[in-house]
Structure 1
Amino acid sequence: MRTDITPTTGRAGATRAGGTAGAVAESAGRALPEGEALPARRHLPALPPTRTVLDVVIPVYNEEAGLEACVRRLHTFLTGNFPYGFRITIADNASVDRTPEVAAALDGAYGEVRSVRLEEKGRGRALRTVWSASDAPVRAYMDVDLSTDLNALLPLVAPLISGHSDLAIGTRLAGGSRVVRGAKREVISRAYNLILRGSLAARFSDAQCGFKAIRGEVAARLLPLVEDTGWFFDTELLVLAQRAGLRIHEVPVDWVDDPDSRVHLVSTAVADLKGVWRVGRALATGALPLARLRRPFGDDPRDRELAGVPGGLARQLLGFCAVGVVSTLLYLALYSLLRTSAAPQLANVLALLLSALANTAANRRLTFGVRGRERAVRHQAQGLVVFAVGLALTSGSLAALDAADTGASHGSELAVLVVANLAATVVRFLLFRTWVFHPGATRAASPSEPSSSASASASPATGPRPHPATGTPPHPATSAPTAASASAPSPDPAARPTGHDERTRA
């Protein structure tokens, strides 16, 4: 069934789609409430073969020569090797050759193939539009040249089906990958990924490999935040997912370069660098509401409470030590600066006060993971009480030094203060952990990190309740993605069950 879609795009994923899939795409791409987090990952329930689990999108532009062979090969592979229901979606990016006719013929020849026509170019635009309109719980894409060996497809989507990961990517740059391509593209690819690591702190190894997959509920939250409509779409998607704490699975692939690639290297590189600058600036200024992408408290096994095992202690200690080193350096620098024009005790009070405010704010966010303005003033007030303890220790140490040696040097003062600060640091961590940022208080007050009980019973993001007899989520009624069904309002993507409509031919 061929579908015509005419999207326009902008920040917050404002994908306006006309035609039969437009209403679905617009509903799936709308902005969600700031405090609404992703549901916990779960293994997809056992579905009959007739239900679509995987939707593979092939974005094309003027590919009349190779499209038919690609789709037939992919369809044969999936039919013989993929153990779940699947669909192949051809996303035509405003081709001006016979690509639409070839796509329509394939749509009519195979029950699992559909074609979608977009009147504007852009690979990112095509993927966002089709992924947003899809009802499949796992959505993937691959390049039309099938440069990536198809044997990597099941390892790519298996972590998403099992609930282990949120996104999955093929990588040509990891150990175990086998790649055949020219030196020019090899250098460009590795240089680009080095730029991403240096500028955006990317931890994934290959941003531009045309072989990726995403879970449906993640796509519903993540796609509205991706602004790019071209080749930088992949990178922006992965950077935002990483910064939100989502799990990205990497699969080493066998990959053979396509000598007839339509990618213009210079213009693509320039556009990618502009995208790196734009995303880096947005992350630095906090313009992206990444809190809505976070999993609920308790989804991470490090959040689970075990008898006799303090949750997250090692992680908190590392974060606290890192913040402590920086704040100690700040304190010593301030003390040395103020000591030039003030008495030792006054310089110590001012330096300790300023560094304590910065220390509390940094530990609040980085060490104990408390975000938002809720209770921020109270935390700072409690931090000042902790500051008073440190002040008593450091001031008492200076007084003791002055009593022992009235002419002590500046170096001796700094040495005594370092020792006193170490003792104060231990006390500060214990008070922060057991009083200021105690999990029971901060978790109940933080709207961006709901408790496990609240998210399980009250949040619509957890999906429908299991059937009392079978224990599996209910499936929606069987329907076809026709103009009549797609024009109806789409349910909230967060509440969409993991079961999926069986596709019938129009």
Structure 2
Amino acid sequence: MRTDTPMGTLPAREHLLADAADLPVLDVVIPVYNEEDDLERCVLRLYDHLARTFPYGFRITIADNASTDRTPEVAARLDGTIAEVRAYRLEEKGRGRALRTVWSHSDAPVLAYMDVDLSTDLNALLPLVAPLISGHSDLAIGSRLARSSRVVRGPKREFISRAYNLILRGSLAARFSDAQCGFKAIRREVAERLLPMVEDTGWFFDTELLVLAERAGLRIHEVPVDWVDDPDSTVHIVSTATEDLKGVWRVGRALAVGALPLDRLARPFGDDPRDRQLSGVPGGLARQLVGFCVVGALSTLLYLLLYSLFRAGVGPQVANAGALLLSAVANTAANRRLTFGVRGRDRAVRHQAQGLVVFGIGLALTSGSLAALDAAAGNPGHSTELAVLIAANLAATVLRFLLFRAWVFPDRRDAPAARESATGESATTPPVAYRSQHPYDTADFRACEAADRTWDVTTQLRVVPQDNDQRNAR
């Protein structure tokens, strides 16, 4: 299994054209386990649909998940009689394992999969992969929860599906509507970088793939589908739901501590690497403003609560300093993670120190406002103090955002150019690769990155140096 994760931003998306060597543009994988009765009917139906409607070359790959019935024989017979069908046998179960293995070895630029029961109407297949072929999107999923979808299934499965997606939205901030529909596609260059980060080998594979892609800023296209539930489905709902919840916890924890190198999946601004050279492009200014306002509003509420508590026992200046200090630490931490997208512990102490400098400026503004109020009104009431502090905090908030953006968390998109001008080293030096069966082990990742080496997946102990010819060949 190929698990190399090239570094650097992804290349710009391009429209895919039919290859002169007649290589397939689309590879549709059908993961199966003990499906001797339905496999042949499914493959023939899919083949007939693609042959009639799909304008590019295609391949159908049967991924047998260690079946114990006659499924391997049926798959081998289809492989031998239809040129566009290929059979792949795995000795271990797991839908995620099957997809990762086949997708990692496929030469098709667009990779897709669907369930063997063909619950999804095949008329949605071309709309699913068209945005990937055109270069518009990175991944595409079928959604049974879109408004224009037509779904026939029992109330139990409907409730479980909607509850699961609600959990994803609440815990992992997922914005895609349907994580578990067995109808998805991905561009190969995206899969090459994304698959090594996906740890699950079972049913949670889909969810983890989508969450990481979304967090990395990749574009996910959703297609409304017509879907009819298969009453003979062999999915064990309780055990699958339990494993999915464990996966949600694991991925959420990894994202919270910044243990995934998601910057390796970033697309350049405007989808063209040349756009990084444009001047005056605000790197997410609108999103940062929204995040900063939300964090600022919550910090202000925290500050006012703390001030009111402290004011009951101490004077206004001491209460203001203590409340502002605690809320400033929380504000810096929240803005670091949520507004400016800085993950991990790297430079965390430095950021807090710089945040305290910004806090000092805010303290001077608010303390000065209290002093001016006391000089003007003598002994002002509590409500008057709060009103003055709110106005002073608004002014301090504007200044805080400007300082955070320009000084504490500056946009580092021009770092490669700066490094090249300072050291003479080309910013387009070929990247190294990260190979690991433990995608959340960032210590190994950084060690390999620093040493310009590759982590060998076969031993997980041996570090293999790479020369420039090997890297350029990739």
**What range is the shorter-chain TM-score in?**
0.7 to 0.9
Q: Output the TM-score relative to the length of structure 1.
A: 0.76
What's 2:332 paired with?
Answer: 360
Q: State whether structure 2 residue 394 is matched by structure 1 residue 394.
A: no
Equivalent-residue separation in structure 2 for 1:309 and 1:245 (angstroms): 17
Q: State whether structure 2 residue 415 is matched by structure 1 residue 420.
A: no
Q: State whether structure 2 residue 303 is matched by structure 1 residue 331.
A: yes
Equivalent-residue separation in structure 2 for 1:209 and 1:379 (angstroms): 42
Equivalent-residue separation in structure 2 for 1:296 and 1:493 (angstroms): 25
Secondary structure of 1:52's counterpart equals coil
Match of residue 236, structure 1, among 178, 192, 208: 208
Match of residue 171, structure 1, among 133, 143, 147: 143
How many residue pairs get matched? 433
Structure-2 change in CA distance of 1:494 and 1:358 (3 Å):
farther
Q: What is the CA-CA distance between 1:152 and the residue it aligns to?
A: 1.0
Equivalent-residue separation in structure 2 for 1:316 and 1:118 (angstroms): 46
Matched-pair contact (CA < 8 Å) for 2:30–2:61 = yes
Q: What is the CA-CA distance between 1:178 and the residue it aligns to?
A: 1.8
Structure-2 change in CA distance of 1:335 and 1:232 (3 Å):
same
What's 1:183 paired with?
Answer: 155
Equivalence map 1:40-439=2 (5 Å): 40-48=12-20, 50-296=22-268, 299=271, 310=282, 312-371=284-343, 379-439=351-411
Equivalent-residue separation in structure 2 for 1:147 and 1:55 (angstroms): 19
Q: Which moved more, 1:394-403 or 1:236-245?
A: 236-245
Secondary structure of 1:205's counterpart equals coil
Q: What is the CA-CA distance between 1:46 and the residue it aligns to?
A: 4.9
RMSD: 3.4
Equivalent-residue separation in structure 1 for 2:372 and 2:108 (angstroms): 71
What's 1:468 paired with?
Answer: none
Structure-2 change in CA distance of 1:229 and 1:382 (3 Å):
closer
Equivalent-residue separation in structure 2 for 1:294 and 1:152 (angstroms): 28
What's 2:460 paired with?
Answer: none
Match of residue 413, structure 2, among 420, 435, 443: 443
Structure 2's unaligned 5+ residue stretches are 434-465
Q: What is the CA-CA distance between 1:212 and the residue it aligns to?
A: 0.8
Secondary structure of 1:250's counterpart equals strand
Equivalent-residue separation in structure 2 for 1:433 and 1:79 (angstroms): 54
Q: Give 1:392's aligned amino acid.
A: A
Q: What is the CA-CA distance between 1:372 and the residue it aligns to?
A: 5.4
Equivalent-residue separation in structure 2 for 1:36 and 1:296 (angstroms): 10
Q: Output the TM-score relative to the length of structure 2.
A: 0.81
Structure 1's unaligned 5+ residue stretches are 1-24, 463-488, 498-506
Q: Which runs of 4+ in 1 moved over 6 A?
A: 303-309, 492-497
Q: Give 1:276's aligned amino acid.
A: V
What's 2:450 paired with?
Answer: none
Equivalent-residue separation in structure 1 for 2:344 and 2:470 (angstroms): 25
Alpha-carbon displacement from aligned partner over 1:123-148 (angstroms, at most 9, x marks no partner): 22211111112121111111112221
Q: State whether structure 2 residue 428 is matched by structure 1 residue 457.
A: yes
Secondary structure of 2:264's counterpart equals helix
Q: What is the CA-CA distance between 1:495 and the residue it aligns to?
A: 8.1
Equivalent-residue separation in structure 2 for 1:224 and 1:126 (angstroms): 14
Structure with the larger RCO, 1 or 2 (CA within 8 Å, 6+ apart): 1
Percent identity between matched residues is 77
Secondary structure of 1:89's counterpart equals strand
Matched-pair contact (CA < 8 Å) for 1:461–1:495 = no
Q: What is the CA-CA distance between 1:174 and the residue it aligns to?
A: 0.8
